[in-house]
């Protein structure tokens, strides 16, 4: 089974893969070093079983990562149906993203930002400001159909927000004015 999310052009994902790969390489070196002393059929049977087990463990980690991305994308899809959203394509010139990860979902969310004392401008409240802020996610080509409801190529551009800023914006979504009965 191939992984749809196993390889993303980001440094953190390379680091995620480094540990299983390093352990596999260390096990292979150990087996090679011990070959002369244990060149028996039972040794190679055990070595083969260990290699199969290691491959299965790596595949299970990839499947878990795939499931996490799919779950995240379902939430992003729901948000994109509630707030003004669009799909844009990441520039081909930026090689930090692989081709199957170049779609970006742009969502505009209403946020309420509470002002610090110095920003209150010497007057009575409100001591907050409501703004529209952008949040974005890259999605994999295999999940693009979840976003068929969105317009594409509308000219949206990333506003420079970081991942921590994105999630801070999400926690600051302004509650809709609703009648409470």
Domain locations in the chain as residue ranges: 11-73, 82-171
Angle at CA of residue 174, ends 170 and 178, nearest 5°: 135
Round to whole Å and give the CA distance between 84 and 90.
19
The answer to whether residues 141 and 100 touch, using CB atoms and an 8 Å cutoff, is yes
For the chain, give percent helix, strand, coil, nearest 5: 50, 15, 35
Q: What are the C-alpha distances in Å from 129 to residues 53, 94, 170, 174, 175?
A: 55, 35, 15, 10, 13
Consecutive H or E run containing 104: strand 103-114
The answer to whether residues 103 and 141 touch, using CB atoms and an 8 Å cutoff, is yes
pLDDT the model gives residue 22 = 66
Kindly report the pTM of this predicted structure: 0.63
pLDDT the model gives residue 46 = 74
Round to whole Å and give the CA distance between 51 and 63.
18
pLDDT the model gives residue 68 = 83
pLDDT the model gives residue 116 = 67
Ranges in the chain, pLDDT < 70: 1-25, 27-39, 44, 116-126, 176-181
Round to whole Å and give the CA distance between 53 and 88.
41
């Amino acid at each position: 089974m191939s992984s749809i999310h196993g390889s993303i052009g980001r440094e953190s994902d390379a680091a995620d893969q480094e540990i299983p790969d390093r352990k596999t390489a260390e096990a292979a070196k150990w087996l090679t070093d011990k070959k002369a002393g244990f060149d028996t059929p039972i040794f190679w049977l055990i070595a083969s079983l260990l290699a199969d087990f290691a491959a299965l463990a790596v595949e299970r980690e990839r499947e878990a990562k795939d499931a996490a991305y799919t779950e995240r994308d379902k939430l992003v899809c729901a948000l994109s149906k509630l707030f003004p959203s669009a799909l844009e394509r990441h520039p081909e010139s930026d090689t930090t993203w692989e081709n199957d990860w170049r779609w970006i979902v742009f969502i505009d969310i209403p946020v309420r930002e509470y002002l610090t004392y110095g920003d209150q401008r010497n007057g009575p409240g409100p001591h907050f400001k409501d703004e529209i802020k952008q949040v974005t996610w890259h999605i994999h080509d295999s999940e693009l159909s979840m976003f068929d409801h969105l317009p594409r190529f509308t000219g949206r551009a990333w506003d420079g927000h970081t991942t921590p800023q994105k999630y801070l914006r999400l926690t600051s979504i302004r509650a809709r004015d609703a009648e409470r009965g």
